[in-house]
A = this chain, B = another copy of it.
Amino acid sequence: MSLQQLVAELGGELHGDGQVLVRGIAPLETAGPGDIAFLSHPRYAQQLAASQAACVIVAPAMADAARERGACIVTEAPYVYFAQLTQLWKRRLGSGRPAGIHPSAVVDPSALVHPTASIGPLCVVERGASIGVDTVLASRVTVGEYCSIGARGILHAGVVIGADGFGFALHQGEWIKIEQLGAVRIGDDVEIGANSCIDRGALEDTVIEDGVKIDNLVQIAHNVRIGRHSALAGNAGVAGSARIGEHCTVGGGAVVLGHLTLADNVHISAASTVMRSILQPGQYSGVFPIDDNKSWEKNAATLRQLHKLRERIKSLEQHLQNKDT
């Protein structure tokens, strides 16, 4: 594919020879003379001069430096341009999933699967479920009864939509099952990573709004609602009835406890545990800092007396104050 063709498809301002052919996309650092690369952050500017890439996608601020090096495409948002380029590349490779239902999939006759959707090998789609336009179930995905997936969704291998929520009533020391009578409703343009699980609601539905992106091995409990364009990284867990706003991010391994509310634009750092509602946008963290084991042991042991240390400081302060007066 020539640089000229590429710019004709994706836009951007090309500097250099449009006849140059691009054979691959590569990181700036390892790109060879047949590759196109991108510079998304000024931090990596020093890699620019040294790069062997056939062409570099850059922001206007870097245009002069890039042109000095060789061919470049100037665009307002190089990282978005790069994303679009990967999509173009994949279409060219023809490696999408074919529309239709793989013969090994088990799809209930009452399920509504749009003809443009792709139901991969060994998927299960239960009765009354619906799968929207252009949505892909990669392989070995289960969509439970009466659950619905919107348009242009991607559910990776092993995803389970609509297993029972974890609901029990304690009765004389034993757990009585609360049948989960709700479903899962997933909007448009939602991507869900491999082996992630979204449980059906107890009475009402669990809801994933448009544009939400969920990584692998993420657990979404019953009655949760996740607002538009939020993203949750791998191994994260959201407990029952929590509400996550729009444009939020939840880092890998983070836990959101049940019945809490996260406002829009709240960002939870990886491995942090949300134990109270967060109503102000911002970045929130709560992780024990890692240290060599010996130092950690000392500090962790002291931490178990922290409250007493505070009392000791307080009494030192009072002691001095008494002496001064």
Contact = CB atoms under 8 A, between A and B. Distances in A.
Contact of A82 (B106, B178, B293): B178
Interface in A39-77: 77
A253 B252 contact: no
Given A211-B175, A286-B291, A160 B157 contact: yes
A279 interface: no
Interface stretch (A1-9, A13-21, A187-195): A187-195
A42 to B, nearest CB: 17
Contact of A204 (B26, B193, B300, B304): B26
A113 interface: no
Contacts of A157: 124, 142, 144, 160, 163
Contacts of A25: 181, 203
Interface residues of A, number: 123
B316 A306 contact: no
A324 to B, nearest CB: 9
Contact of A173 (B154, B167, B213, B247): B247
Interface in A94-113: 95, 102, 104, 106
A306 B313 contact: no
A312 B142 CA distance: 57
A304 B282 contact: no
Contacts of A273: 253, 270-271, 287-288, 290
Given A77-B171, A122-B122, A179-B89, A304 B320 contact: no
Contacts of A191: 164, 177
B297 A80 contact: no
Contact of A169 (B77, B126, B295): B77
A181 B169 CA distance: 37
A161 to B, nearest CB: 9
A145 B95 contact: yes
17 contacts: A86-B179, A86-B202, A95-B145, A139-B142, A142-B157, A156-B163, A177-B191, A221-B234, A235-B235, A257-B270, A273-B290, A274-B290, A283-B292, A284-B293, A301-B307, A302-B309, A320-B320
Given A83-B168, A235-B235, A283-B292, 10 more contacts: A138-B163, A175-B231, A197-B216, A278-B290, A284-B290, A286-B290, A289-B301, A299-B303, A302-B307, A309-B313
